[in-house]
Amino acid sequence: MAKYSEEFKIKLVTEYLNGHLGYKLLAKKYNMPSQTPLQDWVRAYKTQGIGGLKQKKGKAVYSVQFKLDTLQFMLETGASYQETAEQFRINNPSLIHRWMKTFKGQGIEGLNPKSKGRSSMSKKPNKKRNEEQKLTREEELERENELLRLENAYLKKLRAFRENPSAFHEKHKQEWRSNSKKKGFD
């Protein structure tokens, strides 16, 4: 359960926007330990409207391409995590920080969704399984080929962005909006 209700958040945001109290005094008035959540709520309300204050139902799943586009935007424009989160309508800027850290450590493969749950325990280690895990030379080359294709596609997008950033943003803004509607962001 969320610490603060949706109604409470809306009440405080509207009181801040319509009133004469600042973040600190408003947080003190409602016995909040910090003004930071209120600042986050106001920022979310300004960028996303009331939808930015609503509790999300379930965990949002972002595609690898969306994550790459987000990181690329941040690196190219020099935007902060907060500014990038606002641009891509993500409520949690620390999520982008986590993507960046994973990308720097593991590359594109680190951005793939992870399998959930605990792996099953077998009583004996299976020798066949270890043999199957070793890739043949052909499979290794196919894997390397696929990684090179991904890298090539990424570099092409990066070059297109550098040549004309405004056209790149316009094109992807439409894609992001249509993707966000599919994923239940509204």
Q: Which amino acid is it at 44? A: A
Rounded Cα–Cα distance for residues 181 and 36 (Å) = 29
- Give residue 106's Cα distance to chain centre: 17
pLDDT band at 127 (very low <50, low <70, confident <90, very high): low
DSSP assignment string, 76-107 = HH---HHHHHHHTT-S-HHHHHHHHHHHHHHG
Contact residues for 152 (Cβ-Cβ < 8 A; gap 6+)? none
Q: What percent of the chain shows pLDDT beyond 70?
A: 81
Domain ranges of the chain: 6-52, 58-111+150-186
Please determine, for residue 185, whether its predicted confidence score (pLDDT) is greater than 70: no
pLDDT single digits (tens) 7-32: 888 888 888 888 878 888 888 888 88
Give residue 186's pLDDT.
47
Rounded Cα–Cα distance for residues 56 and 68 (Å) = 23
Can you give the pTM of this predicted structure?
A: 0.48
Q: Which of 8-17, 63-72, 120-129 has the weakest average pLDDT?
A: 120-129
3-state secondary structure of 74: helix
Give residue 125's pLDDT.
58
Burial class (CB in 10 A: 0-12, 13-18, 19+), 138: exposed
Please determine, for residue 149, whether its predicted confidence score (pLDDT) is greater than 90: yes
Residues 91, 56: contact at Cβ < 8 Å? Answer: yes
Please determine, for residue 146, whether its predicted confidence score (pLDDT) is greater than 70: yes
- What does the mean pLDDT of the chain come to? 79
Please determine, for residue 55, whether its predicted confidence score (pLDDT) is greater than 80: no
